[in-house]
Structure 1
């Protein structure tokens, strides 16, 4: 079987019935269902949402994004085999555990296929909710340059790269371009402080000032659940990003929920515990792929410098990455997913046709 056929690359051209434009992100595509189909499915499947809630089909691809670019490999490999199924399986696992532990719900209502979620529309909080247990990545780079205040948090002297922090730190950044917020530049992914959130909570889409406290509680509780489970399989939960939004349930209650993905190798750093205890960092996350790219190209500044975006996009478009590196990445995703969930990740022989079949036969959503 051709490996390229097992990869879902283009995921915004499925014949799913919709009367709105398909939203295609770096990895996922979202098909908003018609009002008629949304109401029908809510009734047929008894989803715990308002009877007129807009629903969507979210299809994850196997595309690999890093440094704001999409990368591809030799032999026409336009993604990483098993990546999409691995990410969905991990998120599904954590969302279920959150619910089992009495935390908030997620936006997922149904899982028709390993690459597909049926989700309810949420009003997103415009904050990348990041928390860190170790100092690494952008936080270490800032610290190493002499910065001692990060997202409004004063950091002590003497911290070491990849070292354990005294407390779990919440270091939020903006999600999307937000305008008119004092001291917050109008660009995506800008570090912000807790005080910024409190002073401008409506601009960040919080419904109430107290919800800033609630998102922090959900972030810490979610981190704690995942951290505890990863420790059981010899993995360290280093840092992560959560996203939150508001939905209304079938009883008319508005609530804050988890959305997007949680605890995955794309949204988190996960290290091998035994290797770390021996003084070595072994990444079981996309961070390893980022490091590979920085080492693979002779001028890593192109990947790190936002002013060189045109050159960066040319690198991604014009270079086929070695097949071996893409398959190593595939192994990273599928192995950590299998460790977390206890189930094997099965590669589809033709993912697109499988998705069309199940959404047609069982959900009546294919024209």
Structure 2
């Protein structure tokens, strides 16, 4: 599914994100259709990746179910492999990024000599992919268009983006979810390296929303060989969509002005699809079953589920 085109009774709004199509129903429910679109460097690539939406939606459903004892989540039902129905929350305008290892953006900042990221001081003497003594939270603003921007805890509270009380609760939820995610990953022979969480609120209750611990929102390393690779100064084996970014960079694209997206051949598209299915099976320990429900059949099934609520 490159994009959805549903029309629901009681529909009051529609939002098309980079990957998700979101329908608001009577201002209290949301239907989130996870498309097969793929983005990198904040750019949506021209060709969809078969079954990618199903992978992301089903991983998120499994992870949200496994963490609902920590924090309530927005999910009410998953009527289709790539569709979730849930509560419409007032979204906090920040994303809670949590990092267990010095990787990615944190490493790029660190190797320039800087030791402060989003107001958090990183210790001296670390190598790329080393564990932090304790996980750090490096929040970003939540941009509907363009790039998310780094921001500190102090700036968030000072600007009134989130109240001090709510932000402190978001930090607690973030660290608890990350600890659970690392625990689940360890059972699969993986290290949950970094991830991001989004939260919303209804009344006085905070909910975790969107997706968690998916290959699009998270980075995983294989635990086997981690120590040996660190000691030898080798790159870690990753389980994330980083391979797509690496392919783009190898072909001269990093989302900068004037750069052209390289051609996505059938072979490349199919290889990315296979990698996403591999990610699903490694992260969840479950066999992936390809499901195709589209068009009027899909719409009817969603409407039938909506009527239950």
5+ long unaligned stretches in structure 2: 230-234
**8 Å Cα contact 1:135-1:164 kept in structure 2:** yes
Q: Secondary structure at the match of 1:243?
A: strand
Q: Unpaired segments of 5 or more residues in structure 1?
A: 1-7, 36-52, 73-77, 178-186, 249-253
Whether the aligned pair in 1 keeps the contact of 2:29 and 2:88 (CA below 8 Å) is yes
Equivalent position of 1:164 in the other structure: 131
Cα-to-partner distance string for 1:57-103 (whole Å, 9 max, x where unaligned): 1111011111111224xxxxx3112211111111111111111xx21
Secondary structure in structure 1 of the residue aligned to 2:132: strand
Query: Would the alpha carbon gap of residues 304 and 361 (structure 1) be closer, same or farther in structure 2, given more than 3 Å must change?
Result: closer
Which among 271, 284, 300 is matched to residue 328 of structure 1? 271
Q: CA deviation at 1:353?
A: 4.2
Alignment of 1:1-367 (within 5 A): 8-11=1-4, 13-33=5-25, 35=26, 54-72=28-46, 78-99=47-68, 102-176=69-143, 188-200=147-159, 202=160, 204=161, 206=162, 208-248=163-203, 254-279=204-229, 280-295=235-250, 297=251, 299-300=252-253, 303=254, 305=256, 308=257, 311-312=258-259, 315-316=260-261, 319-363=262-306
Instruction: Summarize the Cα distance change of 1:339–1:351 in structure 2 as closer, same or farther, 3 Å threshold.
Output: farther
CA deviations 1:282-331 (Å, max 9, x no partner) are 22111121111111x1x34xx164xx2xx24xx23xx4313333223222
Q: Deviation of residue 168 (structure 1)?
A: 0.4
TM-score, with structure 1 as normaliser: 0.77
More RCO (CA 8 Å, sep 6+): 1
Residue-by-residue CA offset, 1:155-189 (whole Å, 9 max, x unaligned): 23222112221220111111128xxxxxxxxx852
RMSD, aligned CA: 2.2
Structure 2 counterpart SS, 1:87:
helix
Structure label with greater radius of gyration: 1
1:9-50 deviation digits (Å, cap 9, x = unpaired): 112x123335434211111111122x3xxxxxxxxxxxxxxx
Asked if 1 retains the 8 angstrom alpha-carbon contact of 2:23 and 2:30, the reply is: yes
Whether the aligned pair in 2 keeps the contact of 1:285 and 1:332 (CA below 8 Å) is: no
Counterpart CA distance in 2 for 1:304 and 1:137 is 16
CA drift of 1:268 comes to 0.7
Distance in structure 2 (CA, Å) of the matches to 1:362 and 1:167: 43
Please report the TM-score for the alignment, with normalisation by the length of structure 2. 0.90
Helix, strand or coil at the partner of 2:267: helix
Describe the shift of the 1:30–1:325 C-alpha distance in structure 2 as closer, same or farther (beyond 3 A): same
Equivalent residues of 2:43, 2:255 under 8 A apart: no
Task: Return closer, same or farther for 1:273/1:328 CA change in 2, 3 Å cut-off.
Answer: farther
